[in-house]
Amino acid sequence: MKVNGGQREGSSAGGRSDGAILPKAVNHSTVGSPTIRVALLREGSAVESRSMCLYADHLVRGLSAPELVAQSPDWARGRASHLDRHVTRYWRIPQRLVSHSDVYHILDHANAHWIRSLPPDRTVVTCHDLMLLKLLTGDVRSREGTPLLAAAAFRWSVSHLRQAAAVVCDSNATRDDARRLLGCAPERLHVVYPGLATAFRPLPDRSEMRAQLRRSFGVTAPVMLLHVGHRYFYKNVEGLLHALAWLIRKGRHNVQLVKVGEDLTEGQQGLIRRLGLTSHVRLAGAVGLGDLVRLYNAADALVYPSLAEGFGWPIVEAMACGTPVVCSARGALAEVAGTAASLVDPEDPVDIAQGVTRILDDEPFRKELVQRGLDRSRAFGWDEALTRLRALYVTVAEGSGHSLLPSPRVRGGEG
């Protein structure tokens, strides 16, 4: 059985431009082998987070192989206001969905309510994490309180995961959360680890590159720590800053932290000043893929003490670049890292700092983590992820989406 992708009317295939999803039949089927038409449904690259955009883009590209051609709609091509984005997510898009494909794959759990406009028995939804539900249940805590309206909308949207023929989970930790927090049937939950872009690798001439890159980002200290991600509560930026302050109080003044991602909150910037870290923190903002790869290669360690994650792309990216990782010993991060990282208690700044110290001071341990990380990162490839998704599309199209996929294979640095 062959699998082809759905294409939006009004795209390069021509037709109306009302945003409806119609199948684009691509002639790759063979006699006696019917075609499966798959529609990949996303909100739009202009408004998606980096990780959501990476996931959707890789699926669109990766599934456009001869045996499966997938093209997704992109309703939000320009920057929209906060209100307009919500109107689009909760009203415009559901109004434009039509049921002409064999399988539908909603690529973001926050849009699981789109299933109301689709045949549930032929719809797959990817669940990346359930962070707002974990906040509501007290599994994780936020210093800024709970955004009740956003949490209520999120709870309503993800409640529709229970209706899907299959739910793709980025990790076993996310699968367990979906079962525990939403009551999803275990036989409908399938773990498919996301893949890693091939751009993440150790670079040649690392010493010269490190010196040049550090200068360009204003890093003057001999030791450079790196954090990649946004500023949301579960990223534990505050815990990371307290760990950095502890290192400096203990006499390690030769350390600077480069923070990649959106600007910090006023509260986080105030904490930097109160802890006396102004000269020890460099805010790089959003960077392109090339600079991100170089930053990973230039760093002495990635420090990623999140309170919770659905997967944790930055730790795998750092490992693939030969950079040792300090990360949380909880949930998906511990699962993804295995024994290839220095695992710490994210709520204990001293433990975070001591994890960093061991990497900086214990050269044999550092070298061991680098090698384990390189081995571990090879386990997360898009080829296997796409193979597992193709198999799932076939089972859903055949009406057997409740048949569990085999557990994903993870080799290298296993816990």
Reply yes or no on whether the pLDDT at 26 is more than 70.
no
| pLDDT at site 415 | 46
Q: Give me the chain's average pLDDT, please.
A: 83
| pLDDT at 392 > cutoff 90 | yes
Average pLDDT over residues 339-350: 97
Confidence (pLDDT) at 268: 95
Q: What is the mean pLDDT of residues 144-172?
A: 90
Residue with tokens 């009203």: 91
| Token pair in block for residue 339 | 């024994």
pLDDT over 80 at 108, yes or no = yes
| Percent over 90 (pLDDT), the chain | 60
| Residue range 182-229, pLDDT digits in tens | 999 999 999 999 999 999 999 987 788 888 888 888 899 999 999 999
- Beta sheet of 255-260, edge-to-edge order: 281-285, 255-260, 223-228, 301-304, 325-328, 342-344
Which carries the bigger pLDDT value, residue 25 or residue 346? 346
The answer to whether domain 206-377 has CATH 3.40.50.2000 is: yes
For position 68, what pLDDT does the model report? Answer: 38
What pLDDT, on a 0 to 100 scale, did the predictor assign at position 192? 96
Domain limits, CATH 3.40.50.2000, in the chain: 2-195+381-397, 206-377
Instruction: Read off the tokens for 342.
Output: 């220095």
Mean pLDDT of 292-312: 96
DSSP code per residue over 262-278: SPPPHHHHHHHHHTT-G
Mean pLDDT of 241-264: 95
Alpha-carbon distance values, 29 to 26, 72, 102, 167, 368 (Å) = 8, 20, 15, 27, 48
Instruction: Find the mean pLDDT for residues 335-363.
Output: 97
Determine the residue type at 117. S
CA 354 – CA 4 distance, rounded (Å): 51
Question: Would you list the DSSP string of 90-158?
Answer: IIIHHHH----SSEEEE--GGGGGGGGGS-GGGEEEEE---HHHHHHTTSS--TT---HHHHHHHHHHH
DSSP state letter for 85: H
Using 50, 70 and 90 to split pLDDT, how confident is the model at 46?
low
Q: What is the pLDDT of residue 45?
A: 61
Closest CA to 156 of 211, 98, 113: 113
Q: What is the DSSP letter of 406?
A: P
Q: What is the pLDDT of residues 76-105, one digit of tens each?
A: 445 556 667 767 777 677 767 766 788 999
Provide the pLDDT confidence category of residue 43 given band limits of 50, 70 and 90. confident
Q: Is the pLDDT of residue 333 over 90?
A: yes
Residues 6+ apart with CB under 8 A from 170: 126, 127, 128, 129, 191, 192, 193, 194, 310, 311, 332
Residue 169 has pLDDT above 90, yes or no: yes
DSSP codes joined into one string, 376-405: HHTT--HHHHHHHHHHHHHHHHTT-TTSPP
Which position has the higher pLDDT, 283 or 54? 283
> Residues for the chain: how many in total?
415
* pLDDT at site 32: 38
In this structure, of 79-83, 84-88, 124-128, 233-237, the range with the lowest mean pLDDT score is 79-83
pLDDT computed for residue 19 by the predictor: 38
At 62 the pLDDT is 82
Give mean pLDDT, residues 289-294: 94
Q: Which of 93, 97, 114, 95 is nearest to 21 (CA)?
A: 97
Instruction: Determine the pLDDT at residue 136.
Output: 87
Residue type present at position 208 = E
Residue-level pLDDT at 42:
84
> What superfamily does domain 2-195+381-397 belong to in CATH?
Glycogen Phosphorylase B; (3.40.50.2000)
Give residue 61's pLDDT.
83
Indicate the pairing of strand 2-8 with strand 21-23.
Answer: antiparallel
Amino acid letter for position 322 = G
Tell me the pLDDT band of 22, cut-offs 50, 70 and 90.
Answer: very low
